Amino acid sequence: MAGLLTATGAGREIEGSRMRAGVLQPRSRAGWNNCWPGADFAGINITIRVSCMRIVIDTTENAVISADGRHLDLYGKEAFELISHLWLKTSWNQKYSYTFTWLGLPIIQHPEDLVRLQEVIFTLRPDVIIETGVAYGGSLVFCASLLRAMGSKSRVVGIDIKIRPQNRKAIESHELTRYISLIEGDSVGPEAVARAREFVRPGDKVMVILDSNHTKAHVLNELGAYAPLVSPGSYIVATDGIMGLVHDTPRGKPEWDYDNPTQAAREFAACHPEFALEEPKWRFNESELDRTITAWPGAWLKRIR
């Protein structure tokens, strides 16, 4: 079925389609459920308002019409980036990152972030990885699996304010548990920080991933507590800055616009010249693309001295 689908908050006609504020309407009388999902998309236009940006996806013309009215090639780089930006928002609202496991344990991350993290761990070969925010333990097992694959004797140290008994059991009975140490406590509490520090020996290459409480204040405190452990050339990663992007989605909160890890990382970098906000270089790229599709925007703080 070929039809014309529109969604907008503008309340006016575009490309011959009738708009009503904020309502998705199939142009044909067949009804929305008949043409989505799984319908033949040939000949369908979709207009979507993203915050104050309207994107028109026109598969009849192979075009994306951007906010400033430019017609972009649907299969070009700019259209890809625009659609990816929107996809990030919708995927977050759908809890897409809550659908994966790593070697048996749930891991709450966007897949591209995991691949990029893997590239950094492989390049850096850290002696110690410290991660705040354990949840089910999938991200600890992810790091541990890389350490084993690299033949490394390094450790990953996970800190969580509450490690549920069933999660502790799953982590401690996992075949990679010998690479993992758990610390239960507030990640910015002096005991947890001191215990994490005990895993670091002089000269160790240390990397830190912050994935616990994502308020700006908490992340700033974590940066203050763990950044001194990070070795030159390595990173401390303030994950989940996607909060800033999704503050206006149904599951988001307005205050996330400014209260998020990206803001914390930015503020930290501004007063710590030994760190620079610097995305790791991709190890391989045979495309024209150069931007990570990430739930961790502005997350990577590299120790430069």
Ligand X SMILES: C[S@@+](CC[C@H](N)C(=O)[O-])C[C@H]1O[C@@H](n2cnc3c(N)ncnc32)[C@H](O)[C@@H]1O
Considering beta carbons, is residue 17 or 177 the nearer one to ligand X?
177
Name the minimum Å distance from CB 217 to ligand X.
11
Q: Which long-range contacts (CB under 8 A, 24 or more apart) does 123-127 make?
A: 123/280, 123/283, 124/205, 124/207, 124/233, 124/234, 124/235, 125/150, 125/152, 125/154, 125/205, 126/154, 126/204, 126/205, 126/206, 126/207, 126/234, 127/154, 127/155, 127/201, 127/204, 127/205, 127/206
Q: How many residues does the chain have?
A: 305
Name the minimum Å distance from CB 213 to ligand X.
4
Name the minimum Å distance from CB 140 to ligand X.
8
Considering beta carbons, is residue 133 or 297 the nearer one to ligand X?
133
Name the minimum Å distance from CB 170 to ligand X.
12
| Residue 133: both structure tokens together | 């925010």
Beta pairing, strands 275-277 & 300-303: antiparallel
Name the minimum Å distance from CB 278 to ligand X.
22
Contact indicator for 296, 241 with CB cutoff of 8 Å: yes
Name the minimum Å distance from CB 74 to ligand X.
33
Considering beta carbons, is residue 187 or 234 the nearer one to ligand X?
187
Q: Which CA distances in Å does 142 have to 42, 103, 131, 146, 203?
A: 40, 8, 11, 7, 24
Considering beta carbons, is residue 35 or 156 the nearer one to ligand X?
156
Considering beta carbons, is residue 36 or 96 the nearer one to ligand X?
96
Residues that bind ligand X (CB under 6 A): 107-109, 132-136, 138-139, 159-162, 186-187, 211-213
Considering beta carbons, is residue 141 or 269 the nearer one to ligand X?
141
